[in-house]
Amino acid sequence: MMNHQKNTMSEKPVIAVTGGGQGIGRAILLYFTERGYNAAVLDMNLETAAAVAEECKARGADAIAVECNVTDSASVNAAYDQIGGYFGGRLDVQVNNAGVFRRERVEDATDDVTDLLIDVNLRGPVYTSRAAIKIMKEQGHGSIINAHSILGQFPDFGLGVYSATKAGLFALTRVLAAECAPYGIRVNGYAPSVTDTPMVHHIIEERPEAKLDQIPMREFGTPDQIAKICWFFASDLCEYTTGINVPCDGGTWDVQRPFMAWKAAGKL
C-alpha cells in the first residue's frame, strides 16, 4: 500500500471506486476527474490502480492509488483510513464497483466459487459502505453507488449464486438508503447487462448475435454509459432520489423477442 502524506481538506469533491484499476471502475474515475473530482483508485492490483491514478492526474485531479481487498475488513478499514487522511476527511462519492462473475449450476458450485462470489459481490460492498459512511457522516453528505446487475432481477441458468449476490446487493442498497438518509447520504445502484469490459468480453466474442437478440437497442453497453449513470446519482439532479436501481442495459429482456422489432422495421 502506498504511503500518502497529504491530510488537508480537499477543495474538490472526492470519489472512491473499488475495482478502479480497469473496466467500468476506470471509466467512472476518468469521467469524474474530467469534471472536477479528486480520486481514490482502489484495487487489489496496486500497479493497475497506480496507472489509473496517473490518468486521473493527467486530467487535473489529485489522485491516489490504494491497495484494497474488499473481502477483508481490515484491508478495507486501512484503505479508507488512508483515503480519509489524505483528503482531509472528505469523501463525496463511493462506488462499490468491484465484482466477480462465475457461471456454475448451484449443485456444481464449489465452496471456493460460492465464497468468492458472496465475499466480493456482497460482503465487499458491506465493508466498503461501512467504511465510507464513517467519513460521510462527519461531513454531513455523500452518495454511495452500488453495482447491481440485471441478473439480480432476471436470473439465468447456471447463475444462481451470482444472481443471489446481486439480488442481495439491491436489498442492501434499499436498507442502506433508509439508514443513511438522516446523515444526508444517498444510496442507489445501477444494473448493467452485457457491458464491454474484460470480465464479460468472452461473451461478446463467443455469441454476439444471441446476446444482441435479447437487447431492444441491439448494442452492447460501454463503461462510459455506466459512468454517466453514476454522475447522475452523484449530482444535484438526483438530490431527492435514494434506494433505487437504474438499469443501464439497452432494454434487455423488456419483451421476449426484442429482435422482432428490428425485423418488422426491415433492419434485421
Residue 33 amino acid letter: T
pLDDT by residue (tens digit) across 166-187? 999 999 999 999 999 999 999 9
Model confidence at 2, in pLDDT bands (50, 70, 90)?
low
**H helices present in 119-159, as ranges:** 124-139
The packing angle between helices 160-180 and 111-118, to 10°, is 30
Catalytic: 240?
Answer: no
CA atoms of 188 and 173, how far apart (whole Å): 6
Grid coordinates belonging to 124? 465487499
Question: At residue 268, does pLDDT exceed 70?
Answer: yes
pLDDT by residue (tens digit) across 66-123? 999 999 999 999 999 999 999 999 999 999 999 999 888 999 999 999 999 999 999 9
Q: Which of 80, 86, 162, 190 is catalytic?
A: 162
- Would you say the pTM of this structure is higher than 0.85? yes
Residue 98 amino acid letter: A
* Every domain of the chain and the residues it spans: 14-199+222-253
Domain 14-199+222-253 falls in which CATH fold? Rossmann fold (3.40.50)
Strand order across the beta sheet in which 185-192 lies: 63-67, 38-43, 14-18, 93-96, 142-147, 185-192, 245-248
Q: Are 130 and 74 in contact (CB under 8 A)?
A: no
CA atoms of 122 and 41, how far apart (whole Å): 20
Q: What's phi and psi for 109, nearest 5 deg?
A: -70, 120
Q: Are 8 and 86 in contact (CB under 8 A)?
A: no
33 contact partners, CB below 8 Å, separation of at least 6: 15, 39, 56, 59, 60, 61, 63
**H helices present in 152-194, as ranges:** 160-180
